[in-house]
A and B are shown apart, each in its own frame.
Chain A
């Protein structure tokens, strides 16, 4: 089955804790993106990566970190420095030279 998987579907974070959200794709897409969506708002870009071992900060990167060690995987870590992490996190991919983004099912992060 081709596609983008994100896990877990729901994630609970305690104060001061780092948590990692998984994004895996078998579409062979080069570019991968992480977005955050808050209620009633558009998606905001956290980080993006065009190739393995390279990634760039998006508009709201503070308090987040990523890695891109494999083409298929682009995990996002929400660190304790992110003071308001409760949101819907979406991973997306795009073919090189492609115009369209495709989204994973998302992870909903809640703070306990």
Chain B
């Protein structure tokens, strides 16, 4: 079983739409959670960290449900520039910080 699972998509949405991505993780010892954005043939870049209380950054809202081991990302008022692959990442601190990556959800925002 994969440590982190995501729906690969693609999600094809019109500009201005609201879109939500989900992610589940298998290890209850996971301690930190993140969403990264990856453009085609580029490196991943941190979009936002995810906290139990939920957090918002402009049009982006992330939520964490530890009981269900579930992370979500909501994008409101989608822009063409939001088109990318969104990676869900969890961090397990055992004797070293190891990060586990989902395979990503692809978003295409159409005019």
Contacts and interface: CB of A to CB of B under 8 A. Distances in A.
Interface string A81-95: 000000010100010
A26 interface: no
A94 B42 CA distance: 19
Contact of A99 (B4, B32, B42, B45): B32
Contacts of A100: 34, 46, 49
Interface residues of B, number: 23
Interface residues of A, number: 25
Interface of B: 2, 4, 8, 32, 34, 41-46, 49, 87, 91, 96-104
A34 interface: no
Interface of A: 31, 33, 35, 40-45, 48, 50, 56, 58, 88, 90, 94, 99-106, 108
Closest 4 CB pairs of A and B: A42-B101, A103-B43, A43-B101, A42-B103
Given A40-B8, A42-B104, A101 B99 contact: yes
